[in-house]
A and B are shown apart, each in its own frame.
Chain A
Amino acid sequence: MKPGYYFWSGDIAAAEGAIAAGCRFYAGYPITPSSEIAERMALRLPQEGGKFIEMEDEIGSIAAIIGASWTGEKVMTATAGPGISLMNENIGLAAMTEVPIVVVNAMRGAPSTGLPTLIGQGDLMQAKWGSHGSYEIISLYPDSVQETFDLMIDAFNYAEKYRVPVMFLIDAMLAHMYEKIYVPPEDEIVRIERKRPTTPPEETLIYKADDDLIPPMPRIGEGYKIHASGLTHNEKGYPELTPQAQEKLVRRLNDKIRKHAEEIWKVEEYKTEDADVIVVAMGSESRSVRLAVDLARREGIKAGMLRLITIWPFPYKFIEKYNVPYIVAEINYGQIYHKVREYTQDVELLPKMGGEIHKPDEVLRAIRRMVQ
């Protein structure tokens, strides 16, 4: 898009952010409230020489983007609710075979079909633990249309840099909310490309990691005779079904994210320096919490907000940094609350089952209770 100001929804910003990041391949299946991402991609990708395909289901969609990623393309799919549950098997495949993909999950009221058009934050733990096995992915969650655009570029950069699926969370409110947004000029957008092998095919072990624990990724069609399998594999990519190979591979898949966690963490610390109580919030929910913090300050309560932008790997050092009571305000019956409780004893859950965010008054009452 030409640089300048636009009036976009979160869904459109997600699509345009992806295109700005270099995404040229999208496979998806429509589902509320993410469908407008597919519609925007169908319109815009062929204009950029990219490819859009509407698949038969979410399982086919994520399988197609993993295949396409091996050709060197930057790829994305978007879904929500039941669709993300269907995609989880192949999120595990992408994690195991280290394929850069970006998956947008526009969280809606759940479980099951739940509240298709209304907000939920019930997939925060699933984003990390959705597929079977012990693995790390990256998950990001913006709170505005502008941040959706900007953060999408980081999402692609992380996927490429760490060869990992990035679960890009938005929510039904953000997906459908329109705001003014600024698209920066082309030369201000920083794009990271995945590492490619520098050695000729006959000297390359395609799953041999560098010191940063990330193996360079060859492209299909260049003679590297890639073999990728969801089975536990060795540095050649060949199945090796032993505890030793499992130990080496799975430890590295986790460590390549854990050891770079601090580079991946993004947190907004809003009025936290002198805070006596901090509310942890994410996504659209944080917009209400921000107002509640301001209202509390007007009453003389030193409240602050930690807004988690990186959800996974969990930015625990920001929780440890403050020795104050915490409130976790989330649109579920307690998910990130449990993560926060790992790092502090003094924490209270402010839940909401879904369909709406907390009203600022509800958050304010919780803040007052906490300082009493």
Chain B
Amino acid sequence: MNPMEEMRREEEKLLRTDRLPHVWCPGCGIGITLNAFLRAFIRSKMDPNKLVVVSGIGCTGRAAGYVNVDSFHTTHGRGIPFAVGIKFARPDLNVVVFSGDGDLFAIGGNHFVNAARRNHDLLIIAVNNFTYGMTGGQHGPTTPTGAYTTTTPYGNPDRPFNIPHLAISLGAPYVARWTTYHVNQLQNSIYHALHKKGFRVIEVISQCPTVYGRRNDMKTPLEMMHYFQKNSVRKDDASFEELELKYNGKIVVGVFRDIQGIPTYEERYEDIIRRARK
């Protein structure tokens, strides 16, 4: 069997193929991200029975519904605290939160901030498509200033989150950003992050041609991919300003933080149990 065919078969084992076709639009970037995640996981040879995928609500929130492992589609914004409960109760499990920008950073922002601060041992895959896709393309916490959406018909007056900078400021030990154009880098990054501990954040800039691109001069998936291709620059030591995402501006990608040795909340609590039982 050729390697591609073998990978496809391995991936199918990790997908609930009886749920296909999925809800995502043709040309959506979430499938690319999910694919990168599954391939990275297969390469890691980790036990799928110990993998848990948790999502919130939204287009990306549907990811949990397609992975053939213990998987939870929770309430809007609450994927992280739900995952915190699982991981804290059973630290031997490999818990991944796979969700979108609005879910993780607007309604779920408080949970992101505090879970990062406590350094829970979770891998966060944050798909950033600049918009609320499921509800029809309203502006969200990552929509670039000036962008057109259904709730910013005259351009977005709001300022977006600088997600890598936010995560770094909270002490997250692994912080990376890629786009869906960077399929190999993204896959490698997820592979490496799977082998690390602590609150790991990978932001994936993803195309939503259906409700975002078409209002911002990128009607087709290809136009959005061209934008990612032409405007992405790798710079691992990027400054705050460089990491900011400007409307139709440069996208700085890379691994901005990758350190080891910060105890996780789960590890610190083991010590608490020891002290309490003395």
Q: Which residues of A contact B (CB under 8 A)?
A: 25, 27, 43, 46-47, 49, 51, 53, 55-57, 59-61, 63-71, 73, 75, 89-90, 93, 220-231, 238-239
Contact = CB atoms under 8 A, between A and B. Distances in A.
A295 to B, nearest CB: 49
A57 B68 CA distance: 31
Given A67-B83, A238-B65, A230 B93 contact: no
Interface stretch (B26-34, B134-142, B253-261, B269-277): B269-277
Contacts of A238: 16, 18-19, 65
Nearest to B61: A229
B78 A63 contact: yes
B110 interface: yes
A73 B74 CA distance: 18
B24 interface: no
B50 to A, nearest CB: 6
A67 B72 contact: yes
Interface in B79-118: 80-86, 88-90, 92-93, 110-111, 113-114
A47 B86 CA distance: 20
Contacts of B273: 46, 49
Contact of B276 (A47, A57, A70): A47
B52 interface: yes
Contacts of A227: 16, 64-65, 70-73
Contacts of A53: 84, 88, 265, 269
A303 to B, nearest CB: 47
Contacts of B73: 227-231, 239
B85 A221 contact: no
Interface residues of B, number: 42
B111 A60 contact: yes
Interface string B118-129: 000000000000
A60 B79 CA distance: 9
A94 to B, nearest CB: 10
A70 B86 contact: yes
B49 A90 contact: no
Contacts of A63: 74-75, 78, 81-82, 84-85, 111
B69 interface: yes
A68 B111 CA distance: 16
Give the most central of B54, B85, B90: most A CB within 10 Å: B85
A220 B69 CA distance: 9
Contacts of B50: 221
A67 B277 contact: no
B89 A90 contact: no
Given A46-B272, A73-B89, 15 more contacts: A56-B81, A60-B114, A63-B111, A64-B82, A69-B85, A93-B75, A220-B70, A221-B50, A221-B52, A223-B49, A224-B70, A225-B70, A227-B71, A230-B73, A230-B75
B277 A47 contact: yes
A67 B70 CA distance: 11
A27 B269 CA distance: 14
Contact of A57 (B90, B110, B265): B110
A221 B70 contact: yes
Given A60-B110, A63-B81, A230-B75, A71 B272 contact: no
B19 A67 contact: no
A169 B275 CA distance: 33
B277 A226 contact: no
Contacts of A56: 81, 110-111, 113-114
A64 B276 contact: no
16 contacts: A53-B269, A56-B111, A56-B113, A60-B114, A63-B78, A63-B82, A63-B84, A64-B81, A67-B83, A70-B70, A89-B75, A90-B78, A220-B70, A225-B68, A227-B71, A230-B73
Contacts of B75: 63, 89-90, 93, 230
Contacts of B277: 46-47, 49
A55 B71 contact: no
Contacts of A60: 78, 80-81, 84, 110-111, 114
A229 B76 CA distance: 12
A65 B83 CA distance: 10
A46 B276 contact: yes
A56 B109 CA distance: 11
Query: Most chain-B CB neighbours within 10 Å: which of A47, A51, A223?
Result: A51
3 tightest A-B contacts by CB?
Answer: A67-B85, A64-B85, A46-B276
A95 B88 CA distance: 22
A64 B84 contact: yes
Nearest to B19: A238
Nearest to A51: B88
Contacts of A222: 49
